Amino acid sequence: MTSLDQTDGGKPLPASTKLRQLLSDPSKLLVCPGVYDGFSARIALSVGFDALYMTGAGTSASRLGQADLALASLSDMRAHAEMIANLCPAVPLIADMDTGYGGPINVARSVGEYIRAGVAGFHIEDQVQTKRCGHLGGKELVDTEVFVSRIRAAVSVRGKVASDVVVIARTDALQKSGYEEAMTRLEAAREAGADVGFLEGMTSKAQARQAVKDLAPWPLLLNMVEHGSTPTISVDEARELGFRVIIFPFAALAPAYEAIRGGLEKLKREGLVGSGKELTPRRLFEVCGLRESMKIDEEAGGKAYGAGV
């Protein structure tokens, strides 16, 4: 455990406090791979990242088998976020909160639920309740005043419960209303207390650079959806552009689709999946914390795994 993981008294830092510390250095970029379930989160943790991102699109796909069309409810998203956040509480989780799931009262409830679930940060957007993925067309927005009321409600709850949870304000205004309107909305969200800005669907690197410049020194998040509305921007390029956070929502979901479909097609075609010899049941369970679970049993005096597994 490093000093970044502990308080002065030696107690573990809340994930939200750690996320704030990670964001405090203006020269650093926080890289967050998108995870969509417990297994993908475990893999990301084993690879080693400073923070994770729970994708709403991935949650809709994995939990509901549905497209990202506002079908995942607060209950769906909170339960998913709580499970992922508590796999390793030392690694902060940023989670999608869509629109906050209603008016200010609903947003306040949603924020409280996320805080109690262990989420370190979340983003709220300005789409209507029947929202869609930010990289699809035809998005509809609420008025700026409604958007700002969502941010104010989130900030208010954070203060009331003395949480360090990071509030990220996302606008989808660029697609329909243009750059100036998007900037106006983000500036209003900043004034309302949002910690980080999120301009969805940027269409060029020049525009990305301009947004960072126009809102400096406020931290900006880059949503890197490969093959989406935004041109491909690498981690190194994002760092050079001045972004402070970069999320990759499809970092696990897209490779999983390719691998799972390929394996199933091979099963149908050849009668076997043909996984590598190293992918034994034990190896896959070790990714999911088998050794840690056995250690808990042993330290508590249990004997269930004394003879091994």
Mean pLDDT computed over 52-71: 96
Residue 125 falls in the annotated catalytic set: yes
Average pLDDT over residues 131-154: 96
pTM for the whole thing? 0.94
200 catalytic residue (yes or no): yes
pLDDT in the model for residue 34: 98
Distant-in-sequence, close-in-space partners of 262: CB < 8 Å, separation ≥ 6? none
Q: What is the C-alpha to C-alpha distance for residues 84 and 81, in angstroms, rounded to an integer?
A: 5
Over residues 108-135, mean pLDDT? 96
Burial class (CB in 10 A: 0-12, 13-18, 19+), 224: buried
SS3 at position 69: coil
Q: Choose the catalytic residue: 20, 36, 80, 96.
A: 96
pLDDT band at residue 6 under the 50/70/90 scheme: low
**Alpha carbons 79 and 221: distance in angstroms, whole number:** 24
pLDDT value for 9: 64
C-beta of residue 239 within 8 angstroms of C-beta of residue 262: no
Catalytic annotation present for 53: yes
Whether 164 is catalytic is: no
Check 36, 53, 101, 114 and give the catalytic one. 53
Question: Is 96 noted as a catalytic residue in this protein?
Answer: yes
Active-site residue among 20, 32, 98, 114? Answer: 98
Indicate which residue of 20, 132, 152, 170 is catalytic: 170
Q: Which of 78, 80, 88, 125 is catalytic?
A: 125
- Determine which helix (DSSP H) or strand (DSSP E) holds 259, and give its type and residue range: helix 253-270
Q: What is the mean pLDDT of the chain?
A: 95
Q: Are 50 and 120 in contact (CB under 8 A)?
A: no
pLDDT of 3 strictly over 50: no
- Between 8-22, 139-153, 224-238, 247-261, the lowest mean confidence (pLDDT) is in 8-22
Lowest mean pLDDT: which of 151-155, 195-199, 297-301, 305-309? 305-309
The pLDDT tens digits of the residues spanning 214-264 come to: 999 999 999 999 999 999 999 999 999 999 999 999 999 999 999 999 999
What's residue 22's pLDDT? 96
Span 103-122, average pLDDT? 98
| DSSP string for 81-146 | HHHHHTT-TTS-EEEE-TT-SSSHHHHHHHHHHHHHHT--EEEE--B-SS---TTSS---B--HHH
Q: Which candidate in 32, 164, 200, 244 is catalytic?
A: 200
Task: Select which of 80, 133, 185, 195 is catalytic.
Answer: 133
Q: What percent of the chain has pLDDT over 70?
A: 97
Catalytic residue among 123, 135, 150, 185: 123
Q: Indicate which residue of 20, 37, 42, 68 is catalytic.
A: 68
pLDDT at 12: 87
Contact 197, 190 (CB under 8 A): yes
Which residues, in sequence order, are bridge partners of residue 53?
A: 34, 94
pLDDT at 29 (0 to 100): 98
